Amino acid sequence: MSLPLEIAIAATGARLHDAAAAPERVRATTDTRTLEAGDTFVALHGERFDGHDFVAEAARRGAAMLVVDRPDRAVAGVATAIVADTKAAYMALAGAARALFRGRVVAITGSAGKTTTKELLAALLVAKYGERVAATPENENNEIGVSKLLLAAANESNDVVIAELGARRFGDIAALVEIVRPQLGILTNVGEAHLEIMGSRRRLEETKWSLFALGARAILNARDEVSRRRAGSLAHPPVWFAGDLNAIEHPSGLEPLIAFDGATRLVRRDRGATIEYEVDVRLPGLHNRANLAAAVAGALELGVAVDEIVRRIPCARLPHGRYDRIALAGGVALIYDAYNANASGTIAALDAFAAETAGRRIAVLAGMAELGEESAALHERVGEHAAGSVDLLLLVQGEHAGDLASGAERGGLGTERIVRIETNADAARWLREHARPDDVVLLKGSRKYKLEEIVEELRS
């Protein structure tokens, strides 16, 4: 969305140099490779890059204005908005664009499942809104990605914006909510992701719950302890969702409720009335069924007809890196679910894996990053849970491989069924030599451990 110049200057608090050359409207970009003539180039900078190094290139490509926080990098003859901090200015421009957007805005956050929920919701919304839905690409869910999404949305082409909000530090969600200002907020769960950086579970909880700080209608997980405890503090009663109707403890009062009863029934409860629909859920794992229930709740709130939702449920697909099934030579099936990992997400993946029909279920587990003081205990918990889900456990060596092994042994997995692996290449070699036809192999771990290297090696 382009902004009137006066709104952009007011939003950013900029000092405008060469004002006579300034454009009447501001269309912001941060990438000279996609910059079009007339765009305004915002010179973002971080630890490994500095957009100020590209202001001359932006000018050569036809930038109508530059936004910088280093006055010495102004380009003669090109309008320059000088700000205190270019990232803050970019977010302020996004907030101004959001204020001009007349459609509905949904924000999604949580410790796990937010990207999957976003993709599922976007797919369901097509039934009512067609191509007029703008959603966060992949997982561009930080300040830059969310700002980019808001600035790209336009009243002429969009009716709904779905913003995925990520958080690595205390207070991140509050800062994003200030610019997104969602009318609808979906909280998938509050787990243990990024505990090390957040500092404590309380700070993590506060960060996630700030999704509703500006009054967004809440869609909450009926099995999430934090959501159930804090729901009473909301300005309006929430909508609840669940992947398994029968797993909800003390369901009284949790209405409206959208839940699945197995893979063939969708249940909708509201004001004491219950309506059931026959469905065909093909997503693996109860955690993904919960993500789908959240998406269904969001779609209903946004006016999609329930019959259309039911019709589209069999077509629901997971994003890349989430329980991807890959057929290998020799009849071995590989499941790559290592886009990222925390304890609750890994346990959910192991539960889905336990339901696989296989000659043997072999799990390759790497570590889970950024869990802070609870890291050892959480790795042990995952190892103990894995003991009941797998026939063989391969542990890629890292600082917590021993904790995973200790937990697995405590869970009853014999040491002869626990294999220590030094590198991803060693894991691929072991699987080549030992995996049998009809075995199913799960790869799960945080991104830092690069388990995709095992996939690449086995495919080569």
3-state SS, one letter per residue, for 284-309: CCHHHHHHHHHHHHHHHHCCCCHHHH
Rounded CA-CA distance 235/215 in Å is 7
Ranges assigned E (strand) in 115-233? 133-135, 160-164, 184-187, 217-221
Global pTM value: 0.92
Sign for the CA dihedral angle at 346, 319, 247, 374 comes to positive
Structure-token pair, residue 231? 């729901």
What is the dotted CATH code of the domain comprising 324-459? 3.90.190.20
Backbone angles phi, psi at 333, to 5 degrees: -105, 130
Domain ranges of the chain: 3-91, 101-315, 324-459
- Neighbouring C-beta atoms of residue 94, cutoff 10 Å: 27
Would you write out the chain's pLDDT as a tens digit for each of its 460 residues? 999 999 999 999 999 999 999 999 999 999 999 999 999 999 999 888 999 999 999 999 999 999 999 999 999 999 999 999 999 999 999 999 999 999 999 999 999 999 999 999 999 999 999 999 999 998 899 999 999 999 999 999 999 999 999 988 899 999 999 999 999 999 999 987 666 667 688 889 999 999 999 999 999 999 999 999 999 999 999 999 999 999 999 888 899 999 999 999 999 999 889 999 999 999 999 999 999 999 999 999 999 999 999 999 999 999 988 999 999 988 999 999 998 888 989 999 999 999 999 999 999 999 998 888 889 999 999 999 999 999 999 999 888 999 999 999 999 999 999 999 999 999 999 999 999 999 999 999 998 899 999 999 999 8
Q: Does 319 sit behind a cis peptide bond, omega within 30 degrees of 0 on the bond before it? A: no
Q: DSSP letter for 125, please.
A: H
CB 220 within 8 A of CB 248: no
- Specify the CATH number of the domain 3-91: 3.40.1390.10
Homologous superfamily of 101-315: Mur-like, catalytic domain (3.40.1190.10)
